[in-house]
Structure 1
Amino acid sequence: MSSNFFAMVERMKLIDRWALMNNTGKENIAEHSHTVAVIAHALALIGNKKFGRSYNAERCALLALYHDTTEVITGDMPTPVKYYNDTIRRAYKEIEATAGDRLLAMLPEEFRPDYDPCFHPDPSDKELWQLVKAADKISALIKCIEEDRMGNREFEMALRAQEAKVEAIDLPEVAYFRKEFMPAYYLTLDEHTKS
């Protein structure tokens, strides 16, 4: 019997984000997860090099890469719906857990323990998951910046909200990333490449 796990993971490219918003450019959860993994990895390295942490940056990137994989089963529920109230939030967490279990069951049994921490957070990874969540918010901010730069007024309020959310993250790694790397996201290609 063959395993469906990786074929299902591949379907991440079919799940669009920001479904309630009028987008100038589509973003799917595979693209988003790549961005989150790149940023989470960077946050871990920043923590290690600038703040004396001992994060496992590669594991952080791995957790980020799989952080939205359950959405191949659940779809991407818009944030205003997902977090509307505690009842919906709890129900969605249960749905995510069930989706994670279904995905893990698609793997041969000997590989399940290797992927389990991606779907059932291990307490020993708590600090890494904080970085992943921060990277997830930064990724959402980047999307809002891109849409705003294209003149898409649909994202005006979302941009302000995401800027405030990222600014409110109380992690020195995020403060460093904001100061050192975020300004470049507001630039055009010509501004990036001029010497």
Structure 2
Amino acid sequence: MLNSRIAPAAVLAGLCWAPIAHAATASAFDVLANNQYGQPVAFQSASVLKKGDVIKVHTFNARPVMVLQVAMCDADCPRMHLVKTIPLYPYYAGTSAVATQSFVIPENGRVSFWVQQADNQFSVPIAGASGTWSFTFINRFASYAAPTPYLDTQPMAAEGTTLNDGTLRARYFHNTFITVRLADSNS
């Protein structure tokens, strides 16, 4: 008789806790696309974001020239359009290896993003006596005011990812870490 009262109470308690447990494991971002090896190459917001929401991008130990491409689409996502190219600054002697940048969402919709290494876009071929080689010119203060689609460079595959709460953490090259998180516009 006692067991018949405990069983419904346990089921009811489980139903009450299920939404809370699910909400705790929900992420603000999801994997949008994987490469042929199953590694994530593109990510997307799990829900529609509002104009004025803020995304913070935190980079540690980036290599030249890595960029985070940010695209948007409406709720149904029939077509994405590039809205921002965020340079992921590498470590330079005398500067911090960590960079944090904020991006304000320009319109309502889903946000998609991926990382590209665009160093071949900045290479200058040089012919010399020993053959042809190239020199990569990197201007750390170059303007990325207009989004730039680097069509000759594929999105990079993340070697490891963690998706939790409002944060995505991705690892590239074993020691380059990029964190993308939703932030309060006042922070």
TM tier, smaller: under 0.3
* TM-score, normalised relative to structure 1: 0.23
* TM-score, normalised relative to structure 2: 0.23
Which of structures 1 and 2 has the bigger CA Rg? 2
